[in-house]
Structure 1
């Protein structure tokens, strides 16, 4: 159950960060409210996750997967360039999360 809550926290955080891009510096009310709601939901779910998943594991996965997802959204949907360095960074984040889980951190 903890990792399901963590997946929800990551999804809410990624949605909030994406909405922030469209908030135009918080000058547009709709995306600004989605940003606020997304971060509140993300932290609430992350807090629930910490009842059953260690903080180091949960935070590493939350931050790493969220970062990789937002970078991928930027490249795929927002016209951001994909350099070899950026692709390698995303790959390293994913590998780091996998290694953390294989290492028995949870």
Structure 2
């Protein structure tokens, strides 16, 4: 349970940092929030890995939900477009992450 809470927090602060990056185009003071958001996200992601979640699953979920959250919030806050192709792309990313998660639980290991 702890690892999922940490992962959720990592996603939230990464999305906040990315949205602040967009906001910094108008006011450079937002760059402080960008730095705090990205540093915080990586610290939390490190704690997720220490809590036992595999890197492939943790990074996949973090990336997918971060991308989805950023796209939705940027549309709501900044009026950026959110079209059907964007929604479909996000859906495909999330489906891919789910496959990675399922694959990490079952199946044979592939050796290079």
What is the rounded CA distance, in whole Å, between the counterparts of 1:65 and 1:74 in structure 2? 14
Aligned to 1:45: 44
What is the rounded CA distance, in whole Å, between the counterparts of 2:11 and 2:99 in structure 1? 19
Aligned to 2:93: 93
What is the rounded CA distance, in whole Å, between the counterparts of 2:28 and 2:19 in structure 1? 14
What is the rounded CA distance, in whole Å, between the counterparts of 1:71 and 1:82 in structure 2? 7
**In the TM superposition, what whole-angstrom CA distance separates every residue of 1:44-75 from its partner, at most 9, and x where no partner exists?**
00001111100000000111110111011122
What is the rounded CA distance, in whole Å, between the counterparts of 2:7 and 2:15 in structure 1? 12
Q: TM-score, length-normalised on structure 2?
A: 0.82
Which shifted more, 31-40 or 87-96?
A: 87-96
Higher Cα Rg, which structure:
2
Unaligned runs of 5+ in 2: 106-112
Unaligned runs of 5+ in 1: none
After TM superposition, the structure 1 = structure 2 runs for residues 1-106 of structure 1, keeping only pairs within 5 Å, are: 1-24=2-25, 28-29=28-29, 31-51=30-50, 52-101=52-101, 103=102, 105=104
The total of aligned residue pairs comes to: 103
Q: TM-score, length-normalised on structure 1?
A: 0.86
**In the TM superposition, what whole-angstrom CA distance separates every residue of 1:57-100 from its partner, at most 9, and x where no partner exists?**
00001111101110111222211122221111122223233343
